[in-house]
Amino acid sequence: MRITHYTVCLIASAAFSMASTVAQAETVKVGVIATFSGPNAIWGKQFREAIDVYVAQHGDQAGGHKIEFIYKDVGGPNADASKAAAQELLVREGVKYLAGFDFTPNAVAVAPLTKQAKVPAIIFNAATSSINKQSDFFLRTSFTLTQLAQPAAEWAAKNGAKKVVTAVSDYNPGIDAETAFSATFEQNGGDVLKKIRMPLQTTDFAPFVQRIKNSGADTVFTFLPVGPATFAFTKAYNENGLKGAGISFLGGGETDETTLDALGDQAIGLVTAYHYSDAHNSELNKSFVAKLQELHPGSRANMASVGAYDGVELIYRMVEAAGSDGAKAVEAAKGMEWESPRGPVKMDPVSRTVVQNVYLRRVEKGADGKLFNQEFATVPNVPDLGFNP
């Protein structure tokens, strides 16, 4: 197997591109790995549009370098495709930063590559705490489930909830949410009556909702993947009269802006604990939402958009601080603080996930007839509580 010749060539070309880092102005390429096709294409779409907005607002220069984004579709949770895409981006395109990562396996699959190539990977969404343990080059601008479920439990316990049923989709993120919520809720003196796990593919939730109704709980805490499942679950919640029976709803991403209008008026009043609402009251968020409307009419900002927007903010700051030196850039990112459309955020130096506010929100109908999440309470500066290095 005479592969040495090629290895030499590649090393030579790599060295050549390294040499060019010394030069002043350079194009720093960012490879965005996400889902642009298939049933989960919404992730890639939101990422890309938010990146467009950031670039339109801040230009394509950072620290004297030109930033260029290259998009790779992996078509859903697909570790093989994700790793191959990352390899292609690193080897052929010479990207200095990886970004995107909507699903956990897609992020974990590139962990060894980020370590070998010393390339930072900014996670725009994937929310399992343990991802960041796999590589020191992971930085997360989204959230983790514990980060949301724990404040939700504290808030519920303080605000009159005594008996809770948890109803989550039966897969890792759902179970993370269930574990974090029930532990915290019980510590705060509440009672978890039942922990219901619902099959991931199910869209008929009547049986589960009926069991929640019969349980005698006053609140149901839920976590489901955004899409048909959240749509059908919130419908089932209303139509089977849980609201009427006085069982309050406490969720997370169920009222995501991209599916909120599809839920219709019956979503009004649903309470969720989450880190971003496109109705967040700040100048920065208003300009972000307005620019998105201008560039992509009909699109709504959601947690994926803000994850990507902040991810790009982070990349720009890292490039400013360290150019294309990955290890230095990660060091520079630790402890960075900035204003995000969701509120103040800080890159936790230990967990490398953003510390952020978690908001309690209620769905309301705006003057324009659109539904939105109105924030009414804030749990400030929550770190990733689930991270254990």
**Rounded (5°) CA angle 307-323-309:** 15
Amino acid, single-letter form, for residue 197: R
Residues 41-60 that bind other proteins (CB under 8 A): 41-42, 44-45
CB-based contact 242:270 (threshold 8 Å): no
Measured at the alpha carbon of residue 38, what is the angle toward residues 115 and 261, in degrees to the nearest 5? 110
- Cα separation, 154 vs 156, in Å, equals 5
CA distances to 70, 263, 277 from 335, rounded to whole Å, are 27, 39, 24
Q: Which of 144, 146, 238, 277 binds other proteins (CB under 8 A)?
A: 238
- Asked if residue 134 lies in contact with residue 111, where contact means CB atoms within 8 angstroms, the answer is yes
Range 170-199, binding other proteins (CB under 8 A) = 170-173, 175, 196-199
The answer to whether 125 and 42 have CB atoms below 8 angstroms apart is no
Q: Which region, judged by CB under 8 A, interacts with other proteins, from 57-65, 143-151, 178-186, 234-242? A: 234-242
How far is C-alpha 46 from the geometric centre of its chain's CA atoms?
Answer: 11
What is the size of the binding site for other proteins (CB under 8 A)?
Answer: 82
For other proteins, the closer of residues 160 and 244 by Cβ is: 244
Burial grade of 266 (CB within 10 A; 0-12, 13-18, 19 or more)? middle
For other proteins, give the closer residue by CB, 138 or 359: 138
Q: Nearest approach, Cβ of 64 to other proteins (angstroms)?
A: 28
CA distance 64 to 194: 56
User: Candidates 39-47, 322-330, 331-339, 361-369 — which segment interacts with other proteins by CB under 8 A?
Assistant: 39-47
Let me know: does 380 contact 357? Beta carbons within 8 Å: yes
Token pair belonging to 273: 């604990």
Q: Does 114 bind other proteins (CB under 8 A)?
A: no
**Please, which residue, 324 or 357, has the CB nearer to other proteins?**
324
Residue 263: CB minimum distance to other proteins, A: 8
Q: Which residues pair with 377 in a beta bridge?
A: 360
In the complex, minimum distance from the CB of residue 368 to other proteins, in angstroms, rounded to a whole number = 15
**CB of residue 82 to other proteins, shortest distance in Å:** 8
Binding other proteins (rule: CB under 8 A), the pick from 108, 139, 148, 371 is 108
**In the bound complex, what is the minimum distance in angstroms from residue 90's beta carbon to other proteins?**
8
Question: Which residue shows structure tokens 């991270």?
Answer: 387
Question: Encoding tokens for residue 205?
Answer: 């939730």
Of the pair 200, 376, the CB lying nearest other proteins is at 200
Q: Which of these segments, 15-23, 37-45, 141-149, 356-364, binds other proteins (CB under 8 A)?
A: 37-45
Can you tell me which of 29, 83, 140, 352 binds other proteins, judged by CB under 8 A?
Answer: 83
Over the window 204 to 233, marking each residue x when it contacts other proteins by CB under 8 A and - when it does not, the resulting string is x-xxx-xx-x-------------xx--xx-
Looking at the Cβ atoms of 176 and 313, the one nearer to other proteins is 176
User: Where does this chain touch other proteins (CB under 8 A) — which range of 153-161, 168-176, 310-318, 353-361?
Assistant: 168-176
Q: DSSP secondary-structure letter at 91?
A: I
Tokens of 160: 């009159």
- Subset of residues 302 to 341 that bind other proteins, contact rule: CB under 8 A: none
DSSP character at residue 342: T
CB of 334 to other proteins, least distance (A): 24
257: three-class secondary structure by DSSP: helix
130 interacts with other proteins by CB under 8 A:
yes
Q: Is 17 in the site for other proteins (CB under 8 A)?
A: no
Q: Give the position of tokens 């390294």.
A: 18
Binding mask 263-282 for other proteins (x = CB under 8 A): xx-x----------------
Q: What number of other Cβ atoms are within 10 A of residue 22's Cβ? A: 8
Q: Nearest distance from residue 386's CB to other proteins, in Å?
A: 13
Q: Which of 69, 15, 16, 79 is nearest to 44 (CA)?
A: 69
Nearest distance from residue 244's CB to other proteins, in Å?
8
